[in-house]
Amino acid sequence: MKSIAVYSSKGGVGKTSTSVNLSYASAIRGNRTLLCDMDAQGAASFYYKVSTQGKFTKKQLLKGKFQKHIQPTTYPNLDLLPAHFSFRNLDLVLGDENGHEFTQLLAKLSNEYDVIIFDCPPGMSTLSEKLITTVQKVVIPVIPTTLSIRALAQLVRFFDKTGTDRKKMSAFFSMVERRKKMHVETVMSYRKKKVFLKTHIPYLADVEKMGITRQPVAVSNPGSPASVAYDRLWMECCKRKHSA
Ligand SMILES: Nc1ncnc2c1ncn2[C@@H]1O[C@H](COP(=O)(O)OP(=O)(O)OP(=O)(O)O)[C@@H](O)[C@H]1O
Ligand SMILES: [Mg+2]
């Protein structure tokens, strides 16, 4: 089982767009895939047109009683654990004891899924810390700007401080605009760093339009540059063994 957190402390860098399109790329290639929407804003759930059914509290989540809340999407091999408003307070209850239970959640799902992807909320919180240190891979979208690079550097320091294996980091450039000098220069100077994947995701209107289509780009625009880029990103993530 591959557990993957799509994470950056910076907001609006493309975490949810990545989680949605990677989960689809994984499922279409035959992996039983679960996307867990860990952001109380519920954007990933919105894109997949899935919402919580009945009462779903953070307590249930922490106790591992969430199986019945997992719902199928309209796509084969792809299920979703929708976000709940109460997740916004998950941090307050993720003490050491609950944190331990939380890390056991992944193990419980390992028989049912080949791939589990977590769409993380922005910010550095106890929830993010637990996810980052527990999962097998952390995929980090980085817009080629100073602040996004800074967020990545902070994350590297966090990995070192907590003794988390840097090899599980896979950063990639997100929303790249070739006509922006800063984007081009930043990509050029950082792309050789081991932490970065070779694939980047350009700034493309098809991705933005997911808010309207509410479909992964491979469904709304099959064969489009956006669809091809996300599939390539998925394949590179799967192949990748070493990084930073
Ligand atoms: N490659 C792209 N090209 C164009 N627009 C994009 C691209 N990736 C993401 N966007 C748009 O940028 C906005 C932010 O993207 P997204 O919601 O995926 O980021 P996020 O990191 O999950 O944000 P948050 O931190 O708020 O959860 C959205 O409007 C999305 O449609
Ligand atoms: Mg998001």
Instruction: For residue 244, name the pLDDT band (cuts at 50, 70, 90).
Output: very low
**Among candidate residues 71, 66, 83, 76, the one with its CA nearest the CA of residue 118:** 83
pLDDT > 80? residue 101: no
Mean pLDDT of the residues in the chain = 89
Q: Which ligand is nearest to the CA of 230?
A: 1
**21 near 156, Cβ under 8 Å?**
no
Task: Please name the residue whose Cα sits nearest to atom 9 of ligand 1.
Answer: 14
For ligand 1, pick from 120, 139, 208 the residue to mutate: most ligand atoms within 8 Å of CB: 208
Residue 125 CA from chain centroid, whole number: 15
pLDDT digits (tens, 9 = 90+) for 66-88: 777 889 999 999 999 888 766 66
Reported for 130-134, long-range contacts at CB under 8 A and 24+ positions apart, including other chains, are 130/94, 130/99, 130/102, 130/103, 131/5, 131/7, 131/38, 132/5, 132/7, 132/158, 132/159, 132/164, 133/162, 133/164, 134/3, 134/102, 134/103, 134/106
Task: Name the helix (H) or strand (E) containing 175.
Answer: strand 169-176
Domains of the chain with CATH codes: 2-239 (3.40.50.300)
Res 61: pLDDT: 67
Task: Please name the residue whose Cα sits nearest to atom 25 of ligand 1.
Answer: 11
pLDDT > 70? residue 130: yes
User: Average of pLDDT values for 108-117?
Assistant: 88
User: Average of pLDDT values for 54-63?
Assistant: 69
Q: Which ligand is nearest to the CA of 13?
A: 1
